[in-house]
Chains A and B, each alone.
Chain A
Amino acid sequence: MKGKWKALTFFILPFVLLFAAFYLAPILYAIKQSLYKVERKGTFGKATEVFGGLDQYQRVFTDGPFWESIGRVLLFGIVQVPVMLGLALIFALLLDSGLVKGRRFFRLAFFVPYAVPGVVAAIMWGFLYSPNLSPFTAVTSAVDLLDADLVLWSMANVVTWVYVGYNMLIIYSSLLAIPQEVYEAAKIDGAGAIRTAWSIKIPLVMPAIVLTTVFSIIGTLQLLAEPAVFRTFSSAVTSTYTPNLTVYSTSSIPNFNLAAAFSVVLALATCVLSFAFLKVTQRGGDK
């Protein structure tokens, strides 16, 4: 019995330590920070941190631009996530169908944008969108892709470009795991390629689609690199355009306590949305 515990500790400890040091500790520290506020005397008085209870949270919940930005990323997500995952699913099915020659090439080609660092991708697309610098001036001089009406969707395009291949790979690998017998049975029943895709492949890869959706919801709420880069290019992107940009701007004031409170609220909102989505899809599965 003793030996078993020893082995268990030995194997689990590295994970537990790293998890605690790089995951739990920062979260706890952020929560602690968010419960403090500073006090000072005089115009250049030295700040002392004192316990402030929910003071910072009161600021968060009355901060108009922050909730506006949450609404903005939700709108972004409602449109962008289905488009992106729809494309990822179609590409995965096409690769899997055998209709496409050079499967290996396309698998890699779709994945390459994901290997481009997010900031670099945003800068590159920013140049492509710029009215005077773009190689596609015929488009950019007619439509301002960086103005208040369109910039959100210009960013959605960047995010889609980066992540379609990544999501496709997850769905595709899940398609590869479907046993051949299932296909044979379908074939014997007279199902064509489209029928097989609709009735067999998609239901069987549903868990992968749910997983990628949850990742995408999390990613959407935490949008930072694209708006931060587009902020320099576009007059429509403010310092509080997305929730994470608000956190960033607040921490560079620097107001670490308020920034921590924003982060905690954002993390909670992300948790709630992800779990709500899981709950809804799992209930659908039970029927």
Chain B
Amino acid sequence: MDAALIPKGVKRCPLPQFLGALTVVSVVLLWGVYAMLLCWLKGLNQTNMNNAYGFALWIWADLAVIALGGGAFFTGLLRYIIGKDELKNIINFAVLLGFICYSSALLILGIDVGQPLRGWFIFWHANVHSMLTEVAFCLTCYFFVLCIEYVPLVLENRQIDRVPFFHNLSHNMHEIMAVFAATGAFLSFFHQGSLGGVSGVLFARPFGFREHILIWPYTFFLFTWSAAACGPCFTILITKITEAISRKKLVKDNVIRLLAKIAGWMLLTYIFVKTIDTIYWAFVTAPSKGFVLNFFYTDNAFYGYWILFLEIVLCGWVPAFLLVVKKTRENNKLLWIAVFLGALGAMVNRWVMVLQVLAIPVLPFENWALYIPSWQEVATTILPVAYGIILVMISFRYMPIFPQEQELNPIEPPTPEVEPAAAADAEETPADEDPAAPEGDLQPAQA
């Protein structure tokens, strides 16, 4: 029924099967929307946030998706500015994931502010002494960049591309995409950094506080670095999941391995600096404020040294080595593990820098403040995941997201039980879906 909308030369599941899967995910989405409406209509009393947790699950999710969406800006930087041409075969999907992550971040913030109608206050009455102002500015601008990068994909839909104006618009946007990508990279460096800077400047909370370079604490640079390292891991992970679900190879191994290698070196250098930063913080910064390392990981029901091990070793050093070493990088199972751990590492780091910071007592008479989110917070955090899955499903079905898919999955001409002469004719006049169909120009997917 929707065959006319599906890109040429690729095969998709039947429409009823697609709609069935879409319905299942939509149920989860509606659950999240219901919780979101509760938060908007009844207020933030629907959450378990309190005086200790002004930042809670939502802000963790916000920072996590922004870090994971970093694959878009970093892949764009590598592709358009540094000139890694092979990455053109995965940049569309990286942009899609970035678009999903950043729109999710804005959605979560829209719920978190409690009164989204006043969301424009941060622009109009900007507190330029807050790092979050820079985050708001850059986040919004970078979302515009991602929209601009995503629009050409939509315009390349088989039917939309037939309209000359849209075809030309898509063509022109591709021509100057380097300008948008450079702007996006500039914006991303700053808002990723400022998100890290928020905890780094908290001198009253020694767990998050770090030393500075000028006005920027070390966390500023570490957050940008980790996003550039873990974002591509997330892009590879979701690509692999999409390949597993669609049961197709969508991107050639050399492209995945190149991105994995770059991510591996970024991760290795990041975790090396992060380890030095942690040691310096543990033995110099925290003691100078009157704390010992043991204080941050004992005498509570949840946070122990295990989370430090998980963040630095298991989700840092291990995936870094797996991705840097050629033999392990080229092993499919180990690549799966490495990119999963890499993406998990960014999420654990954001959890530590948002929630563990707030859990630790800062006054002698205080206790650890542990927090369990309400179901409304959980549902609204799962909401963007469902939204992301739906957008990936729709984009994969109707847009040329993976330029190599056609080449990697040639559609075999049907072998009808017809006479040899008729079969010979059919070979000479390929079907509409034949990848070799002479078009006179390139398919959008091949661009």
* Chain B binds chain A: no
